[in-house]
Amino acid sequence: MADTTDLTRLADEAEARAKGGGRVILAMAGAPGSGKSTLAEKLAGKLNARQPGLAMVLPMDGYHYDDLYLVPAGLRPRKGAPHTFDVGGLYHTLTRLRARDEATVAVPVFDRNIEIARAGARLIPAEVAVIVVEGNWLLLDQSPWDRLRPLFDITVMVDVPEHVLRSRLRGRWERLGLSEPEIRAKLEENDLPNARLVRQGSLAADWRIENG
């Protein structure tokens, strides 16, 4: 698992950058099953323990295209791949958050139990100084994802060996009640190819956290 020292040092940097009164946007990228969502919440929790309301998490998964589009487009089996997200929507949300000229910005949150993003499920107030964005493709070095990089002040890659990812992802799909053929298809045709692309196709990050 991740060294708590890494998260503490990362929190130190984010807090220090926010002290000048500006907003800090931190990107935490990683493969499916890497634990980036949990680490992002832990990081925000550390910051909020120091100063209540200092940080909030923005999950990239809220920008999944809906199944109403993915199914007729034949893309449902690849849900989670780079081309199944509204990158433009995420870009414009980050631009709004960077501007910090609105009282609140509403963002979507993905509900994994029903595999659907809930629009406007989280409101980020202007007072929040540190936004922790987490997702697979935040540092992907290909268009249109690469236009996100200039919007991030701090970048983090969560690194996990593939055999650990496989075990975690299998457990995820088992808990959701998928059959063995469905699990194999998820792993071999989508999850693990996506994980390899994250590792091989992402820009270098400021921080690398091992979470295996």
Instruction: Give 10-residue mean pLDDT values along the chain (212 residues).
Output: 76 94 95 93 97 97 95 92 96 97 96 86 97 98 97 96 92 90 90 93 95 84
Burial 106-123 (b: 16+ CB within 10 A, else e): ebbebeeeeeebeeeebe
208, β-bridge pairs: 157
Threshold 0.85, pTM exceeds: yes
Whether the Cβ atoms of residue 189 and residue 79 lie closer than 8 Å to each other: no
Q: What is the pLDDT of residue 77?
A: 87
Task: Kindly state the helix (H) or strand (E) to which residue 90 belongs, with its residue range.
Answer: helix 87-99
Nearest to 153 by CA among 47, 39, 18: 18
User: Which residues constitute the domain of residue 23?
Assistant: 4-210
User: How many distinct structural domains can be found in the chain?
Assistant: 1
Could you tell me which of 152, 168, 164 has the C-alpha nearest to residue 202? Answer: 152
Q: Are 90 and 110 in contact (CB under 8 A)?
A: no
Kindly report the CATH number assigned to the domain that includes residue 140.
3.40.50.300
